[in-house]
Homo-oligomer: A and B are copies of this chain.
Amino acid sequence: MARYFENSTDDLVPDALAGFARAHADVVEHHADSGSLVARHTAAARRVGLLSGGGSGHEPLHAGFVGAGMLDAACPGRVFASPHNRQIYQASLAVARPEGVLHIVKNYTGDRINFGIAAERLAHQDVACARVLVDDDLASDSEAVGAGRRGTGGTLLVEKILGGAADTGLGLTELAELGAAAVRRCRTLAVASAAHTAPTTDEPAFTLPAGELEYGVGIHGERANRTRPQQPVAALVEEMTDALLAAVRPGPGEPVLALVNGLGAVTSLELYGIFGELGRVLDARGVHLARHLVGDYVTALDMRGFSLTLLVADPAMLPFYDAPVRTAALRW
């Protein structure tokens, strides 16, 4: 408690949850038993409940995306730690629909295990459950990483598309397939120029030599697999964008959704400058930038960095993305 404004390190998340629930009482309800946030309004046409969750520290993900048109519930764990399987299990029971519940899970061992156990328990109760595993991080796309690509910024786009789709009454299998297809068409790359402040030590989680950049960070303040000199943002964004394009390979005229995402402490000035560069590169490559978001959506506490996400939408996805949404952090 020096850099952090909190009552104690242990209180940081529960106090935030309580405050969030009060601030957005029109949109979400705080289920104290499971420590989850549940949407107050959801489309009657939904046949499947949508649930996500994960460690805290990534706000507004996921609690900020609970509400009409998006998630039915979010289960926040402690900072950077998976929620308990019981949280997930209880919240799933609360939001399951006739065709069950879909779990949107970022690919981390702890999350996979706890969501997996919750799914086993739901099966035990004859509640149908399927999973969309989000593993969009390009930097961890390597044979050396046994756990597979991490789940990062793309989660937001996947959640929005699934929310729009669920509102049209799609079934569990269809939604799971749609989510998997969206993930396959989506990659994210992140960089940082300064670490987040570790809540336990109140110190930067790592120190970067002046003028250096972490290239390929995750959202838990972990270092990237390489450090390299900072460069003008035009060149940096061009390189990142080209790497993402090589991975998602949009076909001619295919609509691309882009997310320019702040990891916490980067300024709005920088994010919009980055978006400008991204737009220029996509224009130059003849890529159709169909939709975009610029802001802090999937953060790593107060890390000073940003991520770029590209998702190549198929014809069905765009209307789902465009469908109305009313959550704490996203509304249109």
Residues in chain A within 8 A of chain B (CB atoms):
1-8, 11-13, 15-20, 22-23, 56-57, 59-60, 64, 79, 193-194, 197, 202, 210-212, 230, 232-234, 236, 264-277, 279, 292, 294, 296, 299, 301-302, 304, 306, 331-332
Contacts and interface: CB of A to CB of B under 8 A. Distances in A.
A123 to B, nearest CB: 33
A272 B60 CA distance: 11
A217 to B, nearest CB: 13
A13 B296 CA distance: 19
Contacts of A273: 5-7, 11-12, 15-16, 19
B7 A234 contact: yes
B59 A268 contact: yes
Contacts of A3: 193-194, 304
Q: Which of A13, A19, A236 gathers the greatest number of chain B CB atoms within 10 Å?
A: A19
Contacts of A264: 265, 267
A232 B202 CA distance: 14
A60 B268 contact: yes
Contact of A13 (B11, B269, B301, B306): B269
A287 to B, nearest CB: 15
B16 A270 contact: yes
A3 B64 CA distance: 28
A5 B276 contact: no
Contacts of A331: 331-332
Given A11-B273, A12-B273, A16-B273, A193 B268 contact: no
Contacts of A7: 232-234, 273
Given A265-B265, A269-B301, 10 more contacts: A2-B210, A3-B193, A4-B193, A4-B267, A6-B270, A6-B273, A12-B273, A22-B275, A59-B272, A202-B210
A174 to B, nearest CB: 31
Q: List the 10 closest pairs (A to B, CB-CB), nearest first.
A: A19-B276, A59-B268, A19-B272, A265-B265, A15-B273, A16-B269, A16-B272, A19-B275, A20-B272, A2-B211
Contacts of A304: 3, 197, 265, 302
Contacts of A12: 269-270, 273
22 contacts: A2-B212, A6-B233, A7-B233, A7-B273, A12-B270, A12-B273, A15-B233, A15-B273, A16-B272, A17-B272, A19-B272, A19-B277, A19-B279, A20-B272, A22-B279, A23-B272, A23-B294, A59-B272, A267-B299, A267-B302, A268-B296, A296-B296
